[in-house]
Amino acid sequence: MQIAIVGLAASGKTTVFNTLTRGHAETGGYGALTLNVGVVKVPDDRLDRLAEIFKPKKVVHADVTYVDLPAPPPSTDGHVGTEELPAEHLARLRESDALLHVVRAFDDPSVPHPEGSVDPGRDLERLDLEFILADLSMVDKRLERLATGGRHGTPAEREANDREEAVLRRLKVELEAGRPIRDAGLSEDEAKTVRGFRFLTEKPVLVLLNVGESDLAGAPALVDGIAGAYAHAHSMIDHLSAKIEMELGELDAGDAATFMEELGIAESSLERVIRLSYTLLGLVSFLTAGPDEVRAWPIPDGSTAVDAAGTIHTDLAKGFIRAETVSYADLVTLGSTAEARKAGRLRSEGKTYRVADGDVIEILFSR
Ligand SMILES: Nc1nc2c(ncn2[C@@H]2O[C@H](COP(=O)(O)OP(=O)(O)OP(=O)(O)O)[C@@H](O)[C@H]2O)c(=O)[nH]1
Ligand SMILES: [Mg+2]
């Protein structure tokens, strides 16, 4: 899973990146075109408990790759020009599974806002519009191609082109009306037809309002206000104070806990942001546990036992016999797989079983 951190200049993207990855990338770069990439293990207490039971050789967490992109440079016609990002950055952005959109809500005279005033609603809309325009330009280019070249080829190719054109025309209407592709309600088939474009406004987005360290108390009201005007599909809005969170990340666990209590922060933003990203992407984790390895595997919610098997290895899906399944809660309460079996809590599930978050699964398969 890869999440791109996007936002206007000096919104706090790199500070958020440092918080999430416990990194030390330079902040306050003012438009420097550095790209930061960091891999974060998804914190999961369940793995620690399972490791106590199974004493495995290794523990493998699910991971998330965060890419911190510089703000798009101002383009010649006065826009922030997403299209003018270096090709490598644009590719990173397009191949991401979701966006983390950092919006500046902190006021700090030592960090002048490029627009001269702090206005999160305006900034949010501004970058959203930029992404809408980037998608629209791709749609237009492709439609032009199809208009000139789309009538050639075999009947099957022409039919595929017609289908693609119909979907693109629909998207064009949406984008021209200023609506992101997330809101277009594409059917699974339609989405598949245009998947290759990796449209920016199709990606699920988590908007993070970066509030000032002295404004934490007012943050929930700010979030509500912005969320009220942001009724988009596959979108969530939350807040954090990037500066505080980055400082928290530099403390040892004990000091961090004290500091968090003083500030009235219940959980670190790292855990919250990752949890929200999971929800946003519709992911759940199933677990595997044995003497070699205890591991968490992210899969789309709604996946079946055979999908889970395929995530581990294609051979397991091909030769799937059944999935020996116990819930994490039962396993931990009963203390071992053997005890879970005795208590009748170890279930034999078939191919179509819908995997639940926290299922501890062993796949039985034939070679
Ligand atoms: N007071 C305050 N300052 C912040 C906060 N978050 C970021 N900053 C400061 O704002 C400046 C810009 O932060 P960055 O994280 O570099 O912002 P960015 O969005 O990555 O900036 P560019 O990559 O240059 O577009 C730095 O000096 C940060 O220390 C915050 O929550 N409060
Ligand atoms: Mg930056």
* Digit-coded pLDDT (tens) for 94-110: 999 999 999 999 999 99
Residue in 54, 106, 63, 97 with CA at minimum distance from that of residue 242: 106
Is there an atom of ligand 1 within 6 Å of 31 CB?
A: yes
Residue in 9, 8, 20 with CA at minimum distance from that of residue 66: 20
The reported pLDDT for the residue numbered 89 is 86
The reported pLDDT for the residue numbered 78 is 57
Evaluate if residue 312 carries a pLDDT over 70. yes
Is there an atom of ligand 1 within 6 Å of 108 CB?
A: yes
Task: Tell me the average pLDDT across 27-51.
Answer: 86
What is Dmax (Cα atoms) for the chain? 71
The reported pLDDT for the residue numbered 55 is 96
Evaluate if residue 266 carries a pLDDT over 80. no
Each residue of 284-296: pLDDT tens digit? 999 999 999 999 9
The reported pLDDT for the residue numbered 179 is 95
Backbone angles phi, psi at 339, to 5 degrees: -65, -40
Long-range contacts (CB closer than 8 Å, 24 or more residues apart) made by 324-328 = 324/348, 324/349, 324/361, 324/362, 324/363, 324/364, 325/349, 325/353, 325/359, 325/360, 325/361, 325/362, 326/359, 326/360, 327/356, 327/358, 327/359, 327/360, 328/46, 328/50, 328/287, 328/358, 328/359, 328/360
Task: Tell me the average pLDDT across 231-253.
Answer: 89
Find the range with the poorest average confidence among 18-32, 115-129, 319-333: 18-32
- What secondary structure does DSSP assign to 114-127, as a single string? TTSS--HHHHHHHH
The reported pLDDT for the residue numbered 249 is 81
The reported pLDDT for the residue numbered 150 is 60
- 22 in Cβ contact with 258 (< 8 Å): no
Task: Tell me the average pLDDT across 305-333.
Answer: 96
Q: Which atom of ligand 1 is nearest to the CA of 70?
A: 23
Sheet harboring 36-41: ordered strands across? 36-41, 63-68, 2-6, 98-105, 205-211, 235-240
Provide the mean pLDDT of the chain.
90
Task: Tell me the average pLDDT across 127-152.
Answer: 89
Q: Say how many Å lie between the CA of residue 68 and the centre of ligand 2.
A: 7
Q: Say how many Å lie between the CA of residue 292 and the centre of ligand 2.
A: 40
Q: Between 88 and 141, name the one with better pLDDT.
A: 141
Q: Which amino acid is at 13?
A: K
* C-alpha distances out from residue 24 to 190, 208, 209, 277, 283, Å: 42, 20, 21, 22, 29
Task: Tell me the average pLDDT across 116-132.
Answer: 93
The reported pLDDT for the residue numbered 1 is 85
Is there an atom of ligand 1 within 6 Å of 69 CB?
A: no
Q: Which atom of ligand 1 is nearest to the CA of 102?
A: 19
Evaluate if residue 80 carries a pLDDT over 60. no
Q: Say how many Å lie between the CA of residue 366 and the centre of ligand 2.
A: 50
Q: Between 356 and 213, name the one with better pLDDT.
A: 356
Each residue of 203-217: pLDDT tens digit? 999 999 999 988 888
Most confident range (mean pLDDT) of 33-37, 78-82, 176-180 is: 176-180
Q: Which atom of ligand 1 is nearest to the CA of 107?
A: 1
The reported pLDDT for the residue numbered 243 is 87
Its sign, for the CA torsion 261, 263, 267, 270, is negative
The reported pLDDT for the residue numbered 74 is 63
Task: Tell me the average pLDDT across 23-35.
Answer: 78
Helices 219-228 and 120-149, interaxial angle, to 10°? 30
Share of the chain above pLDDT 90, in %: 64
Task: Tell me the average pLDDT across 164-170.
Answer: 96
Instruction: Tell me the best of 24, 30, 111 to mutate to test the pocket of ligand 1, counting ligand atoms within 8 Å of each CB and taking the most.
Output: 111
Q: Between 358 and 24, name the one with better pLDDT.
A: 358
Name the CA dihedral angle for 78, 83, 84, 88, rounded to a multiple of 10 degrees.
160
Rounded to whole angstroms, how far apart are CA atoms 41 and 55? 20
Rounded to whole angstroms, how far apart are CA atoms 11 and 114? 10
**Which residue reads 């790199």 in tokens?**
14
Evaluate if residue 279 carries a pLDDT over 90. no
Tell how far CA 343 is from the center of its chain: 38
Q: Which atom of ligand 1 is nearest to the CA of 34?
A: 23
Is there an atom of ligand 1 within 6 Å of 241 CB?
A: yes
**Which residue reads 């004290």 in tokens?**
258
Q: How sure is the predictor about 77, in pLDDT bands with cuts at 50, 70 and 90? A: low
Task: Tell me the average pLDDT across 118-141.
Answer: 93
Q: Say how many Å lie between the CA of residue 238 and the centre of ligand 2.
A: 20
